[in-house]
Structure 1
Amino acid sequence: MRMDDLTVERVLRTVEAIPPGRVAGYGQIGAIAGAGPRLVGRIMREWGSSVPWWRVTSHVGTVAPPLRARAFERWADEEITVRPDGGGCRMREAGADLDALREAANAAWADLPAPAADA
């Protein structure tokens, strides 16, 4: 899927739907929003400061080193435990319920047009 306003909005609203104390990987968010993980990363880099970006991790729960200190401050507030290696969290413990996230994201998109079918 290409980056357009609708894709950006779907990704950002999906991130907003991640509950406090939970995280989701770029690929998980993309699977729900209809975008690849790299596109999710690009959208987060360019527009993610207005959503709970600290709840977005790699597929193994890691956070990019430049963001770790700020993310981990937020995690402490939300009681997300940092792994002993200091790189992120355990997805088994902190990962969002993906069925519930999909449902919440779909509700958050209710006022958006359906994405165009890729040609």
Structure 2
Amino acid sequence: MAPDLPRTRMDDVTVERVLRVVEAIPAGHVAAYGEVGSVVGVGPRLVGRILRTWGSGVPWWRVTNASGDHPLLARALPYWEAEGITVKPNGRGCRMAEFGADLTLLRQESAASLAELDDDTAP
């Protein structure tokens, strides 16, 4: 695979990369599926699929769609309340402008953890 192409396969390393980026989203903030994917190099649908299958051990409630809406808001709400994330007036999610994670910081916070994976998988 060329280094400038995004990863499109779901392998163990890709799953772990997504989960590590989700773990790096700070409490009280959210990131969109596509934002997590941009850090990892995969698309938003793959991020959602990985979270649906393997995300129970990471703060899945911090990942929303691009509008801040959460597909499992009823389940996420107790976590959001504990972290101070408030629901926007439409009742579907939160305001990304207010609660969206700083992507530069998210990249920085997850860089060391992702580098460990890259080192472990190098030939």
1:69 shift after superposition: 1.4
User: What TM-score, normalized by structure 1, do the two folds share?
Assistant: 0.91
Distance 2:74 2:42 in 1: 28
Match of 2:4 in 1: none
Amino acid at match of 1:113: D
RCO (CA 8 Å, sep 6+): is it higher in 1 or 2? 1
Distance 2:103 2:75 in 1: 25
User: What TM-score, normalized by structure 2, do the two folds share?
Assistant: 0.88
Match of 1:112 in 2: 117
* 3-state DSSP of counterpart to 1:35: coil
* 3-state DSSP of counterpart to 1:109: helix
Alignment RMSD, CA only?
A: 1.3
> What is the number of residues matched between the two proteins?
114
Distance 1:113 1:102 in 2: 15
Distance 1:93 1:48 in 2: 24
**1:89 aligned onto 2:94:** yes
**5+ residue gaps, structure 1:** none
- Given that residues 26 and 37 in structure 1 are in contact (C-alpha distance below 8 angstroms), is that contact kept between their aligned partners in structure 2? yes
**1:47 aligned onto 2:54:** yes
Match of 1:2 in 2: 9
**5+ residue gaps, structure 2:** 1-7
- Given that residues 17 and 108 in structure 1 are in contact (C-alpha distance below 8 angstroms), is that contact kept between their aligned partners in structure 2? no
- Name the % identity: 61
